[in-house]
Amino acid sequence: MLRLYSMQSSGNSYKVRLLLAKLGLPFRLVDIDLLRGENRTPEFLIKNPEGRVPLLELPGGRLLAESNAILVYLAEGTSLLPEDRFARAEALRWMFFEQHSHEPAIAAARFWLKLVRGGRDLRTHDIDRWMEEGHAALAVMERHLGRRSFFVDNRLTVADIALYAHTHVAEEGDIDLAPFPNVRGWLARVAAEADHVGMEWRPENATAMPAL
Ligand SMILES: N[C@@H](CCC(=O)N[C@@H](CS)C(=O)NCC(=O)O)C(=O)O
């Protein structure tokens, strides 16, 4: 069975849980609590030298890190990963945008302002930059969505899943979505798609990180 190392409140982990739920793929969820340093134990660093979640373990033991690489791997052969060469490259383009221009500001703001106790004081010097870069990324999305229902091919793809995960909780990092009506409309469309699950969803078989 697939095994996913994940933290429930991690947007990057949520991308993978959402895709697995949509595809109806059974998997074992292994909780890694970053706030307790479970991602920095020798056992976990053997699996992912970067010490990050999500991490996917395949039945034969092979390991795949990086949320968007995991999405592409799992969605292969499904309608969520375009077959057409150009559409597939466009999906990748938006996933690279998410990692380079969106997640570093929007996810970091939420992590430090909502999830880390005292994070606002620890990272005061970063807040203005997160707001500026987060708004800039949302403005790009707003313009793109002006004439489209979804990011690629006017249908749900892995690009939407990658961008949805942190955007739908951006306000938890003080990033106001009110000025972005197209983005808000798109968030509602993604959430209305078949087999959508929220960030709180978990399969029944969750376990803690096993010792080696
Ligand atoms: N680019 C990676 C980023 C993964 C990432 O930063 N994960 C966070 C949780 S959302 C993490 O594990 N942080 C712990 C750390 O960096 O020590 C991805 O998309 O999977």
Q: Which two tokens stand for residue 210?
A: 């096993």
Ligand 1 atom nearest the C-alpha of 10 is: 10
Residue 11 Cα to ligand 1 midpoint, Å, equals 9
Q: For residue range 74-107, what is the model confidence (pLDDT) as tens digits?
A: 999 999 999 999 999 999 999 999 999 999 999 9
Count CB neighbours of 20 within 10 A: 23
Ligand 1 atom nearest the C-alpha of 66 is: 20
Q: Domain residues of the chain, as ranges?
A: 2-79+197-208, 85-192
Q: What is the radius of gyration, based on Cα positions, of the chain?
A: 17
Residue 89 Cα to ligand 1 midpoint, Å, equals 24
Residue 39 Cα to ligand 1 midpoint, Å, equals 10
pLDDT less than 70: residues of the chain:
208-212
CA distances from 119 to 11, 23, 126, 129, 158 (A): 18, 36, 11, 15, 31
Nearest CA to ligand 1 atom 14: 52
Architecture of domain 85-192: Up-down Bundle (1.20)
Ligand 1 atom nearest the C-alpha of 11 is: 10
Ligand 1 binding site (Cβ under 6 Å of any ligand atom): 10-12, 34, 39, 51-54, 66-68, 99
pTM attached to this predicted model:
0.96
Mean pLDDT taken over the chain: 96
Q: Which two tokens stand for residue 107?
A: 């996810």
3-class secondary structure per residue, the chain: CEEEEECCCCHHHHHHHHHHHHHCCCEEEEECCHHHCHHHCHHHHHHCCCCCCCEEECCCCCEEECHHHHHHHHHCCCCCCCCCHHHHHHHHHHHHHHHHHHHHHHHHHHHHHHHCCCHHHHCHHHHHHHHHHHHHHHHHHHHHHHHCCCCECCECCHHHHHHHHHHCCHHHHCCCCCCCHHHHHHHHHHHHCCCCCCCCCCCCCCEECCCC
Question: How large is the greatest C-alpha to C-alpha distance in the chain, in angstroms?
Answer: 51
The per-residue pLDDT for 207 is: 74
Q: For residue range 17-33, what is the model confidence (pLDDT) as tens digits?
A: 999 999 999 999 999 99
Ligand 1 pocket test target in 19, 53, 55, 94 with most atoms within 8 Å of CB: 53
The per-residue pLDDT for 212 is: 44
How distant is the alpha carbon of residue 74 from its chain centre? 14
Give 65's strand partners. Answer: 55
The per-residue pLDDT for 169 is: 98
The per-residue pLDDT for 162 is: 98
The per-residue pLDDT for 206 is: 72
Question: In this structure, which amino acid lies at residue 180?
Answer: F
Name the fold adopted by 2-79+197-208: Glutaredoxin (3.40.30)
Question: In this structure, which amino acid lies at residue 204?
Answer: E
Residue 52 Cα to ligand 1 midpoint, Å, equals 5
The per-residue pLDDT for 209 is: 67
